[in-house]
Every structure is written in C-alpha cells, then in structure tokens.
Amino acid sequence: MTLGIIGAMVEEITPLLERFGDYETKQVGGNNYYEIKKGKHRIYVAYSKIGKVHAALTASTMILHFGCEKIIFSGVAGGLSTDLKVGDLVLGTKLCQYDVDITAFGHPLGFIPESKVFIESDSALNAVASDIAKAQGIKLKQGIIASGDAFIADSAKKQWIITHFGADAVEMEGAAVAVVCDLLKVPFCILRSISDSADGSADVSFDEFLESSAKRSADFVIMMCEQILK
C-alpha cells in the first residue's frame, strides 16, 4: 500500500514527521515529499502550501508521480456548526467549493459543468476514522466541509456559507483534493481539527490554536495509518 498524507502548512505535517521518524526527502514541482517506509508499505507526507491550486497539484503529484492509492488530508479549519469548538475533529463526508460562482448561467453556487456541487469522500476510510473515534472515545463530527481561496474571519460570510451549502467547517484545500481524487478514482478522506470560529475573532484564535489543533488532527491520522496499513 502507498498512502499519501497532505497538510497545507508546515505546522500541519510537523507532528506527523516527528511521529513517523526516519524519512527521505524527494522534490517534485518545487515541493518536498517525505517518504516513510513501513515494511512493504510507503507513506508520502507533504505540505501543499495554502489554497486550492497548491492542494490540487500536491494531490495530483502524490497519485500520478508517487502512486499513492489513498489520500488523507490532515489539518485545521474554521468551525461553522454551533456544536463545534476549538480542538474538535471534523470528518468531511462531502466537500464543496463555496467560491465557485457561475450562477449567471443558471447553475447553482459551487457547480462546475461536468462536475457536481458536492463530492463525497470515501466511505471505507471514513468508517476507519469513525471506528477509531468510537474506540478512543473521541468526538468526531461528520459533515460538509466548504473550501475556498479566502480565510474566513467575517460573521456575515460565515453565515452565507452555512445558508448556501449547509457546511459545518470551512477551509482552503479540501474540496480541491476531493476533485482530484474523484476524477482519478482514488479514495480520500478529509480530516480537520477546529482552530477558530470563522468569525470576527478568527485571526486571533487561529494563531493561538493552530499548532495544538494541527497536532490533534495529526495524532488521529497516525492512528488511521496504523489501522489502514496493518
């Protein structure tokens, strides 16, 4: 099995590399991919850099260049649902792009021709995550994650995303990974830990809780890897 794990920032993959230990660094397209050998298995870890374009490039490279058979995204997100607080984990069962808008042509928000508004993540990987959460007594909310190329720190924009997409969390990469994996028929899972509430105080909360929330997501992904590769 060859498994790919993506984070958007250094802080999101540092806990993974620290836990995995030995790795080799390979460079493709100006980005580093860290190869971890686990017996007959391979794990590739990379931080894509922020945004949908970088996330799509990284996911594509992992699949087409390194042959990754499953992709997991680990990182932080802004909470939209009222029952989410900082540190809570969210599993994206559906991903959408809130900043895609061709409604002028009669299409719904988030829709791209020959595609769809919502892309569903892999049920088998989600089941692994759900089983681990139950076994460990960890709260894991499953729901919709909305992605777009903006950091949401405005209450009105937050409510707009909730109203139009019913999203539980918002971030900047997940839906791009979903599009790539869906088109290339590779199972994927998007796991996020809440770092802020995507409102007027989001910038302060994000800086304060980025590392702790990223570590919480990474720790959970490590458990997923152990389960998938055993």
Catalytic residues: 12, 196
Residue ranges of alpha helices (H) inside the chain are 10-20, 52-64, 123-136, 155-165, 174-184, 202-229
φ and ψ at residue 146, rounded to 5 degrees: -105, 135
For the purposes of burial, counting CB atoms within 10 Å of the CB of 109, is it exposed (0-12), middle (13-18) or buried (19 or more)?
middle
Helix (H, G, I), strand (E, B) or coil at 179: helix
User: How many CA atoms within 13 Å lie on the side-chain side of 137?
Assistant: 0
Cβ–Cβ under 8 Å, residues 87 and 216: yes
Helix (H) or strand (E) holding 141: strand 140-147
